[in-house]
Structure 1
Amino acid sequence: MVRLSLVASLFAAVASAVTVEQIGNKKGTTRLPGAYIFEFEDDSDHTDFYSKTSADGKTRMEFDYKLFKGASIQFNDHERAEDLASKVLELPAVKGMWPVKVYGIPEPRIDWQGTPGQEYATMKKRSAYETVKDVFSPHVMTQVDKLREEGYTGKGVKVAVIDSGIDYKHSALGGCFGDGCLVTFGTDLVGDDYTGYNEANPDDDPMDCQGHGTHVAGIIAAQENSMDFTGAAPGVTLGAYRVFGCTGEAGNDILIAAFNKAYEDGADIISASIGGPSGWSEEAWAVTVSRIVEQGVPCTLAAGNSGDVGMFYASTAASGKSVTAVASFDNAETVSILNVSHYTVNNATTRYEFGSQAGTPDAWTGVKLPLWAPSYDTNVTDGGCDEYPANTPNLSGYIVLIRRGTCTFVEKATHAADAGAKYIMVYNDEAGIIPYDVSPVENIKAAAMVTPEQGKKWINLLKAGSKVVVEMSDGSDGKVTVEQVPNDLTGGALSTFTSWGPTWEMDSKPQFGAPGGGILSTYPRSLGSYAVLSGTSMATPLMAGIFALISEVRGTLEPELIESLLSASSNPQLFHDGFSYSEFLAPVPQQGAGLVQAHDAAHATILLCPSSLSFNDTDNFVESRNFTLKNTGKTDVEFEISHVPAGTAYTLVEDSIYPDSFPNEFASEGATIRFSESKVTISAGKSVTIEVLPTPPTGLQAERLPVWSGYVAINGTDGSSLSIPYLGLTGSLHGSTVLGSADAWVSQSTDEKLLPVAENTTFTLPKAGTVQDQEDINSTSTTFPTLVWFLALGSSNVHADVVPVKSNLTTGNYNVPSNGSVGQVADFPLMWSSMGQNSVSWAGELADGSYAPAGMYKIVYRALRIFGDEKKTSDWDKSESLTFGITYAK
């Protein structure tokens, strides 16, 4: 952890194919064909709205909330939906319209999961002097342990969890639902069978059948349990708002309803580990969450798990104004849950305990065999990677002990099996244990892994000539050990999977972060009761718990204040590419203010706000910003103000319009920052406003959109060490291409790789009007044209016009309008799109409900540039597909 007061000495010493919004399939963020959200004017008469929509569609959701009144409508005729929706928008009672989008259920990495129906009891308890002290590593990293030691638990705070529900019958989550329970309030908005694409069947029971929400809930508020941990704020009461079925996705209309319901049910904090790429604050769900925050309810949302994509991949609704977007840091300790087994040495009666994690296959029941190792070198980097010598004994009566490294697990297992082995045990070459799969190798019945320390102990015994007999457990007895060893590789670093900001309008995202990599928490009883998962999904509920603790300490839930307190006291971390640290701080678009320090924030007497400063891009450069320091203590404090630059990251690949992928290329140049005052004394009870005047770095390749950032460091004579993150961009977002001239093509609906078809390829489509939606397309054997386009950067508005070219397939008059198009592809325009590849299979339908006549066409895409004016032709990028033909079956 790097305090900015110490960073100066440290510094003295020292084009990605992105699949983003998809239309018509279930990858990324999906737009639901023919469905729209409409917001009403306050206190307006909605009679005309329902009379117009009832004839052409059905109501998915009604929103009768204080902060959002309206409805989502599923139009029956998807091909005419855009035209119908546009006409509804013209009604006096309607003030806004958005398409319904569907967000996938979060898929965190599963590092360990219990066995269904098994009761677990850890064999490795805290020592007696640790019975009160919180030693759970995510809590220690964020100073939650210090607040818990002071007696703070979040008592009296109501935290709503928007997710897959909560297994409230779990003993660590209270065992019941309702008054007097831990999970006190909430509801199921969807039902078990909801997938995001079908009708929701709400009920009053928010029981989790998927898993994600139960893990999230435990991170916030798990009670004492057999696995020897608790949630960050076990004194809170939880609300469970279920927005996912047992499988599938969730519409943003459901999410809007859930957030508003939680708000009106009196939630003090709302947390959701859900999202999808956007980067726009104007998207419907983001707008909703922002309104709730403005009413005084903090909302913590996951920044996203797409760190490999690179810059400008902020997730919605975390991208909303005033919404707290949470980044992930890797756990300082690697957590492994191991089955307890035993071994003996030289046939002695003493049985030694050890822990192992089963791999695949895992037929360890009743296995009691001696160990044999192909090498006694505990530093060998290629253990088991070569064929075993001819004089190797038949290994069918042994468990073969192999060090991890170099070649694949399957290769190791293959060489062992060739020598007769049926059982293999790998000892890791780094901290912790991971599962692995060698099921493709015939004759291997079971595999497992142990820690480096255990493996070395066994190797040394074997090397000394001892006989080591291992008696394996298959885990059916429920006896496990929790191994927590220092994560020397990435502990405390930004998780490489954590998504980067900023937003397309240069708002700073994320705000800050918490541990999300390798987190032990509760899991539904039917899925094993406990699990170790990794994702920003895990960092976000920890942050919600921290908000609850701080609110108990300070007696306020004011979102701006708590966010500013956490931002000011966070510890910025050095950049880590997954292999090693760099000698510069990770950019603000990756870590925000840094790793939060809850105790420092809760007890701060020096208030620093706002939580971040953005100076925008060169076109919209803000020459100065202000921050305010307020001394709420009892003595005068003198402050020294300076700044520390972070890494300047290039957004685009050199000589390209396309985004670079993680780890982006960095420049050594940083901004120069001047302050209206570099030293200031603030009397008790007084405040001072400081002006920040940046000079952007020179020598950068502006066309690559370098984002420069860093931290204003404020160090006081009272020992306070505060900081505020800043960022800016050299170059023009408006002047950058969002859609390349050759970045549109036509593929076949049967081609998973979406490769371009040859020029003039003709598709025979079903009779016009017989295909209603993507589900119909997927259910037929017909090959449809798939329209593909790639956005180099995000666009708030994308059009796709169907333009005829000369053809002998013409069967009638085109009635071509003045712009040369026969119409726009159904379900266009697209609003608030992120960057990356997009596709839709097309049955010939147009946005007005008609069908393009048989003929030869190009699809002409137009994408509005960032900060663009829709009325200016020059603000739109254009790309044309190749020529292709369509005919219709008789």
Structure 2
Amino acid sequence: MVRLGLATTLLAAASFAQAAHHKAPKVVPGAYIVEYEDSHAASILNSIKGDATIRKDIRHELFKGASFQFKDLDKAEDLAGKIAAMSGVKAMYPVRRYSVPEHTVHYTGSSVQEVVAKRDTAKDTFTPHLMTQVNKFRDSGITGKGIKVAVIDTGIDYLHPALGGCFGAGCLVSYGADLVGDDFNGSNTPVPDPDPMDCQGHGTHVSGIVASKTNNPYGIIGAASDVTLGAYRVFGCDGDVGNDILIEAYLKAYDDGSDIITASIGGASGWPEDSWAAVVSRIVEKGVPCLVSAGNSGDEGIFYASTAANGKRVTAVGSVDNIIAPALLSEGTYSVAGSSASAFGFTAGTPSAWANVSLPVWSVNFDTTDAANGCEAFPDNTPDLSKYITLIRRGSCTFVQKAQNAAAKGAKYIIFYNNAAGSTKVDISAVAGIQGSAMVTSETGAAWIKALQAGSEVIVNMADPETAPKNLSNFPNPNTAGFLSTYTSWGPTYEIDVKPQISAPGGMILSTYPRALGSYAVLSGTSMACPLAAATWALVMQKRGTKDPRVLENLFSATAHPNLFNDGTTTYPMLAPVAQQGAGLIQAWDAANANALLSISSISFNDTANIKPLQSFEVTNTGKKAVTYQLGHTSAATAYTFADANTIDPADFPNELVANKATLVITPAKLTLNPGQKKTVTVLAIPPKGLDAKRLPVYSGYITLNGTDSTGYSLPYQGVVGSMKAVTVLDKQYSYLSQSSDAALAPVAAGTVFTLPPAGKANETQYANTVYPTVVLTLAMGSAEVRADVVNAKGKTIGQVLTFPAYWNPRGTFEWNWDGALSDGSYAPAGTYKITLRALKIYGNSRKPQDWETQTTESFSIKYAKKNKREFTA
């Protein structure tokens, strides 16, 4: 299995422990966040200032602390340990860096977009709105007016005509700030300013989903177009951001009076206790709903919750795919047998030198069902294809193979026509001689083939895709319409908290984009689902007149629609697990008009070893009539964490699903509530039978309440068969000693000798080529604490390796070099050592030796280079 490269002081390009396939939060070497008692602030900060630069000094009612960067990395851990031990220090955390959220850019607009007249907005037909009932609010005149929504992201192109065209009082984007500056990349010093202009694109797309206006070429409209937006820019034009800046952004958005805070940022965690998640949880406790995207690591399988979405009371939002596939296609024209020109749409590929190309079309055959079209060498009587645009059907072999066959006959320009709905981008840059590539729809391709077959000449006039007008085409989504996006990250947390809470359309979403990047774009990601959810929160706030985060989440959870499981191609006759979809797809109008209010949004029965089988919740009738509810439950698919009983790595998506279900005893079975009346429902859970507990099956489902007023509500639940504590955490096969000179990070032989720089000299240029011992540690499952102890030849532990212990770790691989420094600031003497790696079991007690898993490396020796004369006399 491919493992995630975790937050480390060293990240290799590749590794024997297998390279990461997506970005992960990284630790900033020598940087920490300290949370302290306010009365001890002065003494703690004074102790820091001499040895470190203060990154952020945060004096806030919800978080009193600071982040700082030690000047001398060789002494960082020793100094950090001393600060952590000071009176008044509540907690110490590493500064972690998070990248711009992963998302897929399917299509972008053109630099020559022109604003057209507003469409008739009497009816909202935007499909993500139809899917979530947002259209019913607009039809009723409810558009989020008076609600302030803060967007923490890459900023907003507020000069975009669909986003108000201005920034400040009276504008759509009326408040916020740039916390970092254009040149910030995550590792340099931020230079804040008051202007949150977006230079990346992500934040502008997110903001359009919330609140874009209809003065745009495609008639799109934000779900809550009359809210007030706050833009908190936390990314420069490139790079990532530290969690200390994210904490600052959240607190600033809170102080500025935001009613809702949304952020589509995160990274692997699974632990609600990390610093960023903890602060966001406190904001929710103060009455401000915080919605965070669940993450886009669905391929990692179950137990891959992201922070800060995994925080307690934070609403994590998963993604479902749009019921259509919108496409922004570049416009070209064609003529048949000298007729007047007709327009068509194309998606430019790579390469894309299409400017002023006007050539006749040639096709290898006229069979529009030929899956192998272009897969074989072209016939000997093929004309010189440099004088044509070669038309090839998409099919069974690769685009590159088809292009190579065409290039062998002189082809410079190739257009593929699709074998399914819509079109997509192709990359045939590896084929020499090709100057332009593109794809057209199956319908366009068929029309050209029909004309060619009739003996007519087809002339295609292409255009530069950078400047060509873009047409919006909506294609059917045949496989995944309305189902969970395969990329959406799965929960639960390692403590079996339900994550995500809810799902919203995030796959193939058309929204605004920075003017410099095309003005509009179709993107996919939980990044797109989260702002739509935040907008629906605003609509329900306005409709119901409540801003209570708990009430809102409970309403949305109770009225959401769970869906069947779909693996991207096939739909199965069982509900998708709660760990993938939470309560299901948002039904905002139902939430706004619900007369039954549940006191919770989900139930976790925990694992078998720590089962809480008897739980309860309250139901309140907020309506004006008495209602009787029939209670029952519907099971979802049970997901096995591991592929078999001998595997310690969670299986990749899709996990094996089985129909084994829990038995729930719900009391009472029928419930009558008069207006304003509240009653308690108890639930006794009996976990499913016939499952292999060693494979850690996660079961789930929905408690249902069907009313005599024709309303229906549901409450998601989940639990685990087996013991989280019994699960293997430390992957010993991929935890060993390597060396920094080996890009593959293969294990070194026992007895390897390393010559290290003199103590404290590792950063000097003269030692740049030093080969260090590299410790590789892999977690098969998350661990709340990881340690690395240095053991001498006599078996005595002499200290802990620099940068450890590490807390709240996701599953994946740690890699770091060791220059001999110990966590107490001293250096290990020259000699022979082993390193004992320890990972705390899930639900383990750090004071109990049996709750740790350990692995000891092969023995190795270190010695130190001699100091030169200049160093002795300096």
**Could you tell me the TM-score, scaled by structure 2's length?**
0.95
Report the equivalent of 1:574.
564
Cα shift readout 1:390-410 (whole Å, capped 9, x = no counterpart): 222322222222111211111
Report the equivalent of 2:336.
345
- Deviation of residue 751 (structure 1)? 3.4
Residues 45, 822 of structure 1: alpha-carbon distance in 2 compared, 3 angstrom cutoff: closer
Which of 813, 826, 836 is 1:860 aligned to?
836
Report the equivalent of 1:211.
201
Question: Which amino acid counterpart does residue 738 of structure 2 have in structure 1?
Answer: S
Which of 361, 374, 378 is 1:384 aligned to?
374
Report the equivalent of 1:684.
675
Report the equivalent of 1:805.
793
1:360 aligns with 2:346: no
Contact 2:109 2:470 survives alignment (8 Å): no
1:651 aligns with 2:665: no
Which of 73, 78, 90 is 1:83 aligned to?
78
Question: Which amino acid counterpart does residue 148 of structure 2 have in structure 1?
Answer: K
Structure 1 stretch displaced more, 208-217 or 270-279? 208-217
1:720 aligns with 2:716: no
Which of 483, 502, 505 is 1:515 aligned to?
505
Structure 1 stretch displaced more, 526-535 or 159-168? 526-535
- The equivalences for 1:237-636 within 5 A come to 237-348=228-339, 350-475=340-465, 477-636=467-626
SS at match of 2:735: strand
Report the equivalent of 2:16.
none
Report the equivalent of 1:699.
690
Cα shift readout 1:414-441 (whole Å, capped 9, x = no counterpart): 1111122221111111222111111221
- Deviation of residue 462 (structure 1)? 2.4
- Deviation of residue 715 (structure 1)? 1.7
Cα shift readout 1:585-629 (whole Å, capped 9, x = no counterpart): 111111101111111111222223311110000111011122222
Contact 1:650 1:706 survives alignment (8 Å): yes
Q: Which runs of 5 or more structure 2 residues have no equivalent in the other structure?
A: 13-22, 867-874
1:846 aligns with 2:803: no
- Deviation of residue 135 (structure 1)? 1.9
Report the equivalent of 2:779.
791
Question: Which amino acid counterpart does residue 616 of structure 1 have in structure 2?
Answer: N
Report the equivalent of 2:18.
none
Contact 1:134 1:145 survives alignment (8 Å): yes
Number of residues of Structure 1 aligned to a counterpart in Structure 2: 854
Distance between the aligned counterparts of 2:467 and 2:86, measured in 1?
66
1:120 aligns with 2:113: yes
Report the equivalent of 2:700.
709
Contact 1:740 1:878 survives alignment (8 Å): no
Distance between the aligned counterparts of 2:670 and 2:366, measured in 1?
62
1:144 aligns with 2:134: yes
Which of 29, 44, 51 is 1:33 aligned to?
29
Distance between the aligned counterparts of 1:227 and 1:308, measured in 2?
33
- The equivalences for 1:191-210 within 5 A come to 191-210=181-200
Contact 1:742 1:880 survives alignment (8 Å): no
SS at match of 1:600: helix
- Deviation of residue 777 (structure 1)? 9.6
- Deviation of residue 804 (structure 1)? 2.2
Residues 583, 753 of structure 1: alpha-carbon distance in 2 compared, 3 angstrom cutoff: farther
Contact 2:732 2:778 survives alignment (8 Å): no
Question: Which amino acid counterpart does residue 78 of structure 2 have in structure 1?
Answer: D
Report the equivalent of 1:814.
none
Contact 2:81 2:824 survives alignment (8 Å): no
- Deviation of residue 746 (structure 1)? 2.0
Structure 1 stretch displaced more, 525-534 or 554-563? 525-534
- Deviation of residue 278 (structure 1)? 0.7
1:22 aligns with 2:8: yes
Contact 1:587 1:647 survives alignment (8 Å): yes
Cα shift readout 1:496-552 (whole Å, capped 9, x = no counterpart): 111110011110000011111122222222222222221111111111111111111
Residues 430, 763 of structure 1: alpha-carbon distance in 2 compared, 3 angstrom cutoff: farther
Distance between the aligned counterparts of 2:386 and 2:28, measured in 1?
56
Distance between the aligned counterparts of 1:829 and 1:578, measured in 2?
40
- Deviation of residue 477 (structure 1)? 4.9
Structure 1 stretch displaced more, 222-231 or 287-296? 222-231
Distance between the aligned counterparts of 1:174 and 1:758, measured in 2?
64
Contact 2:574 2:659 survives alignment (8 Å): no
- Deviation of residue 113 (structure 1)? 2.6
SS at match of 2:679: strand
Cα shift readout 1:362-411 (whole Å, capped 9, x = no counterpart): 12122222222223222222221111112223222222221112111111
Contact 2:354 2:465 survives alignment (8 Å): no
Distance between the aligned counterparts of 1:264 and 1:768, measured in 2?
46
- Deviation of residue 122 (structure 1)? 8.4
Report the equivalent of 1:7.
none
Structure 1 stretch displaced more, 367-376 or 820-829? 367-376
Report the equivalent of 1:103.
98
Distance between the aligned counterparts of 2:528 and 2:5, measured in 1?
24
Contact 1:565 1:601 survives alignment (8 Å): yes
Cα shift readout 1:699-720 (whole Å, capped 9, x = no counterpart): 1111111100111122222221
Distance between the aligned counterparts of 2:396 and 2:89, measured in 1?
62
Distance between the aligned counterparts of 2:736 and 2:548, measured in 1?
50
Distance between the aligned counterparts of 2:773 and 2:782, measured in 1?
25
Which of 141, 145, 150 is 1:160 aligned to?
150
Distance between the aligned counterparts of 1:50 and 1:284, measured in 2?
19
Contact 1:21 1:834 survives alignment (8 Å): no
Contact 1:122 1:480 survives alignment (8 Å): no
Q: Which runs of 5 or more structure 1 residues have no equivalent in the other structure?
A: 1-14, 807-818
1:834 aligns with 2:810: yes
Question: Which amino acid counterpart does residue 768 of structure 1 have in structure 2?
Answer: A
Distance between the aligned counterparts of 1:759 and 1:673, measured in 2?
56
Contact 1:16 1:658 survives alignment (8 Å): no
Residues 22, 112 of structure 1: alpha-carbon distance in 2 compared, 3 angstrom cutoff: farther
Contact 1:21 1:277 survives alignment (8 Å): no
Cα shift readout 1:26-69 (whole Å, capped 9, x = no counterpart): 95111112222111224x14222122112221211011112111
Question: Which amino acid counterpart does residue 19 of structure 1 have in structure 2?
Answer: G
Contact 1:268 1:298 survives alignment (8 Å): yes
Distance between the aligned counterparts of 1:867 and 1:831, measured in 2?
14
Cα shift readout 1:444-499 (whole Å, capped 9, x = no counterpart): 22111111222222222323333322222224554211111110111211111111
Residues 805, 618 of structure 1: alpha-carbon distance in 2 compared, 3 angstrom cutoff: same
Question: Which amino acid counterpart does residue 566 of structure 1 have in structure 2?
Answer: F
SS at match of 2:372: coil
Residues 103, 680 of structure 1: alpha-carbon distance in 2 compared, 3 angstrom cutoff: same
Which of 60, 66, 70 is 2:55 aligned to?
60
SS at match of 2:607: coil
Distance between the aligned counterparts of 2:707 and 2:766, measured in 1?
64
**Could you tell me the TM-score, scaled by structure 1's length?**
0.93
Report the equivalent of 1:3.
none
Contact 2:107 2:329 survives alignment (8 Å): no
- Deviation of residue 92 (structure 1)? 2.9
